[in-house]
């Protein structure tokens, strides 16, 4: 199976194979741990990922012909669009970048170049591969770092020789060096034992730190010259000599600094870049948020709409498949999975240019959240809001307990305020809980009774006025 994916690089093949091995049911089950509801969206992204795995099992020309089916998520803010994409990328360990379409403008206008999306993806892939390689050489780097720390305390014994020794038959310096070697070696072993016991971790030492030269080339940070600026900065940085400076740090800090430097020396960055580009091409995920903000409403084409439509036309080649030059080499986007998302309150998906619509064949509408979902969001996910507040206040010794009727009341209020004011989905829970727990958070260090129970009456006391007064709720929540 590995040889079908990347015959010339088994390490890359193994890493890429480990990306999408989960079945759709397993992917949905993992997403369920963090995201409540939105079953259709979860199923769609799970199928898209599984199809990637299936395409890698193909051989010959058909393998390149089968491209990912991009997804367009439609739903109001706070319903889980971004969270699904973010958790998905973390789950499959794929290079992932999230960008807002509103950051980009048509070439010739002020703004970022759309090619920077692909360059950011390449950077993310390189960072992932580099971290994996550094983890593999961590033990060896730690041993080399310890030797450098020993050199600070007791220099490595070396045999010194007088340059005139050969002419006059040796020198006293050479004999002295040979006599001192056993003493120095014994001293190093004594320090090594103390280091192993952790007795020297807080000792302050002076070390020589290597700093790479990083010239400022801000003048090249413009739209279409953005990539040129990065490449020029790297080129000049490589040509300039390394700077060294003395730093006074503890042994523990020196161990971290030296281990980082030694790990960098053990890694072949050219091999990392080559592997990263292959992984980005086959496993990369790009999340295009706020895509509805660049849609041209009702076919108008004046004012800012000119730039909006230009952004769509600039994004189109990236989405349909093109080759973008990055500082690590060319990256083809044919097999990158694009997930676009937008609220589409004023614009509609049909307001996007037809070519771009055709590149997002899978349409998923995420539903607005109601009381039942809010109640589950508060408690069920592994990073549930209630759990977050409980562990935060536990650092002050406060035992925060929520009764079931209090959770039900908070969920009910969240639904009510979302219906009467703007619908901001689950983000409404953040504002409600912050207001609800404001007094407790403020007085937590001074509380005598550290066991605090939140019941429905407490919720009504703190939030009832805001929920009843629509104008006040719009102002505060």
For the chain, the 3-state helix, strand and coil shares in percent, each to the nearest 5, are 60, 15, 30
- Candidate from 13-22, 34-43, 424-433, 457-466 with smallest mean pLDDT: 13-22
Q: Rounded distance, CA 108 to CA 112, Å?
A: 10
Nearest to 432 by CA among 451, 450, 458: 458
Token pair of 367, please? 């539903």
- Tell me if the domain spanning 371-476 has CATH number 3.40.605.10: no
Nearest to 177 by CA among 191, 148, 152, 156: 156
Q: What is the pLDDT of residue 211?
A: 66
Q: Is the pLDDT of residue 476 over 80?
A: no
Contact (CB, 8 A) for 188 and 150:
yes
- For residue 173, what pLDDT band results from cuts at 50, 70 and 90? very low
Q: Is the pLDDT of residue 393 over 60?
A: yes
pLDDT of 11-46, one tens digit each?
444 444 344 578 899 989 989 888 888 899 999 888
Looking up tokens 């600094």 gives 257
Nearest to 42 by CA among 67, 15, 78, 79: 79
DSSP string spanning 10-28? HHHHHHHHTTS-S-HHHHH
Q: Rounded distance, CA 42 to CA 365, Å?
A: 11
The CATH T-level fold of domain 2-132+273-365 is: Rossmann fold (3.40.50)
pLDDT of 81-103, one tens digit each?
888 888 887 887 788 898 888 88
Contact (CB, 8 A) for 273 and 10:
no
Rounded to 5°, the CA angle 332-117-39 comes to 95
- For residue 146, what pLDDT band results from cuts at 50, 70 and 90? confident
pLDDT of 339-383, one tens digit each?
999 888 888 888 888 999 999 999 998 888 889 999 999 999 888
Is 72 in a helix, a strand, or coil? strand
Contact (CB, 8 A) for 80 and 6:
no
Is 68 in a helix, a strand, or coil? coil
E-only strand ranges, 121-278: 204-211, 243-250
Most confident of 52-66, 222-236, 458-472: 52-66
Q: What is the pLDDT of residue 167?
A: 46
* Residue, of 162 and 263, whose pLDDT is higher: 263
Q: Is the pLDDT of residue 136 over 70?
A: yes
Q: Rounded distance, CA 144 to CA 380, Å?
A: 46
Q: b or e along 326-353 (b: 16 or more beta carbons within 10 Å of the residue's beta carbon)?
A: bbbeebebebbbbbbbbbbeebebebbe
Q: Rounded distance, CA 80 to CA 74, Å?
A: 11
- Percent share of the chain, pLDDT over 70: 77
Q: What is the pLDDT of residue 220?
A: 41
Domain residue limits, the chain: 2-132+273-365, 138-266, 371-476
Q: Is the pLDDT of residue 406 over 90?
A: yes
- For residue 319, what pLDDT band results from cuts at 50, 70 and 90? very high
Contact (CB, 8 A) for 279 and 125:
yes
Nearest to 352 by CA among 70, 82, 110: 70
Q: Cα-flanking dihedrals φ and ψ of residue 443, to 5°?
A: -100, 10
Q: Across all residues in the chain, what is the average pLDDT?
A: 79
Q: Cα-flanking dihedrals φ and ψ of residue 330, to 5°?
A: -70, 140
Q: Is the pLDDT of residue 411 over 50?
A: yes
Q: Rounded distance, CA 94 to CA 34, Å?
A: 18
DSSP string spanning 317-334? HHHH--EEEETTEEEE-T
Task: Kindly state the average pLDDT of the residues 396-404.
Answer: 93
Ramachandran assignment for 240, one of left (phi > 0), alpha (psi -120 to 50 degrees), beta (any other): beta
Rounded to 5°, the CA angle 39-41-47 comes to 100
Token pair of 98, please? 């999230």
Provide the whole-model pTM.
0.75
pLDDT of 260-301, one tens digit each?
888 888 999 999 999 999 999 988 999 998 888 888 776 555
Task: Kindly state the average pLDDT of the residues 389-401.
Answer: 93
Q: Are strands 243-250 and 204-211 parallel, antiparallel or unpaired?
A: antiparallel
pLDDT of 192-249, one tens digit each?
888 888 888 888 888 887 765 444 443 343 334 555 555 555 555 555 566 777 888 8
Q: Cα-flanking dihedrals φ and ψ of residue 158, to 5°?
A: -130, 150
Supply the DSSP symbol for 293. G
Token pair of 362, please? 């899978």
Q: Rounded distance, CA 88 to CA 68, Å?
A: 15
Task: Kindly state the average pLDDT of the residues 416-431.
Answer: 85
Is 342 in a helix, a strand, or coil? strand
Q: Rounded distance, CA 464 to CA 460, Å?
A: 5
Q: Rounded distance, CA 372 to CA 412, Å?
A: 9
Looking up tokens 């056993």 gives 182
Rounded to 5°, the CA angle 407-412-413 comes to 100
- For residue 473, what pLDDT band results from cuts at 50, 70 and 90? low
Contact (CB, 8 A) for 31 and 42:
yes
Q: What is the pLDDT of residue 278?
A: 92
Q: What is the pLDDT of residue 223?
A: 39
């Amino acid at each position: 199976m590995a040889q079908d994916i990347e015959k010339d690089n088994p390490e890359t093949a193994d890493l890429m194979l480990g990306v999408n091995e989960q079945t759709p049911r397993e992917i949905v089950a993992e997403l369920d741990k963090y995201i409540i509801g939105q079953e259709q969206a979860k199923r769609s992204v799970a199928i898209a990922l599984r199809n990637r795995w299936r395409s890698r099992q193909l051989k010959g020309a058909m393998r390149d012909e089968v491209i990912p089916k991009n997804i367009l998520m439609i739903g109001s803010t706070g319903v889980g669009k971004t969270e699904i994409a973010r958790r998905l990328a973390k789950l499959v360990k794929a290079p992932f970048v999230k960008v807002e379409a509103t950051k980009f403008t048509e070439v010739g206008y002020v703004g970022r170049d759309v090619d920077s999306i692909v360059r950011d993806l390449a950077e993310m892939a390189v960072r992932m591969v580099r971290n994996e390689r550094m983890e593999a050489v961590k033990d060896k780097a730690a041993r080399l770092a310890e030797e450098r720390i020993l050199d600070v305390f007791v220099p490595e014994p070396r045999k010194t020789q007088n340059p005139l020794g050969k002419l006059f038959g040796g020198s006293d310096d050479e004999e002295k060096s040979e006599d001192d070697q056993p003493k120095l070696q014994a001293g190093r072993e004594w320090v090594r034992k103390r280091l192993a016991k952790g007795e020297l971790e807080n000792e302050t030492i002076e070390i020589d730190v290597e700093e790479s030269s990083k010239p400022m080339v801000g003048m090249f940070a413009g739209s279409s010259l953005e990539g040129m600026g990065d490449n020029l900065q790297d080129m000049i940085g490589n040509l300039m000599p390394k700077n060294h400076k003395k730093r006074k740090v503890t042994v523990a800090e020196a161990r971290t600094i030296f281990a980082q430097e030694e790990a960098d020396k053990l890694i072949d960055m050219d091999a990392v870049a080559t592997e990263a580009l292959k992984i980005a091409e086959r496993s990369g995920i790009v999340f295009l948020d706020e895509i509805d903000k660049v849609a041209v409403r009702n076919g108008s084409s004046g004012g800012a709409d000119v730039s909006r439509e230009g952004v769509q036309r600039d994004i189109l080649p990236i989405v349909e498949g093109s080759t973008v030059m990055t500082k690590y080499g060319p990256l083809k986007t044919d097999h990158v999975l694009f997930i676009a998302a937008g609220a589409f309150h004023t614009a509609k998906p049909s307001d996007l240019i037809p070519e771009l619509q055709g590149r997002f064949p899978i349409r998923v509408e995420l539903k607005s959240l109601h009381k039942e979902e809010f109640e589950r969001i508060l408690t069920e996910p592994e990073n549930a809001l209630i759990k977050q507040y409980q562990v935060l206040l536990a650092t002050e010794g406060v035992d925060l307990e929520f009764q079931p009727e209090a959770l039900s009341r908070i969920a009910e209020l969240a639904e009510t305020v979302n219906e009467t004011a703007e619908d901001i989905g689950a983000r409404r829970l953040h504002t409600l809980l912050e207001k609800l727990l404001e007094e407790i958070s403020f007085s937590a260090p001074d509380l005598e009774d550290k066991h605090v129970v939140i019941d429905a009456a407490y919720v009504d006391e703190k939030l009832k006025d805001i929920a009843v007064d629509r104008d006040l709720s719009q102002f505060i929540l």
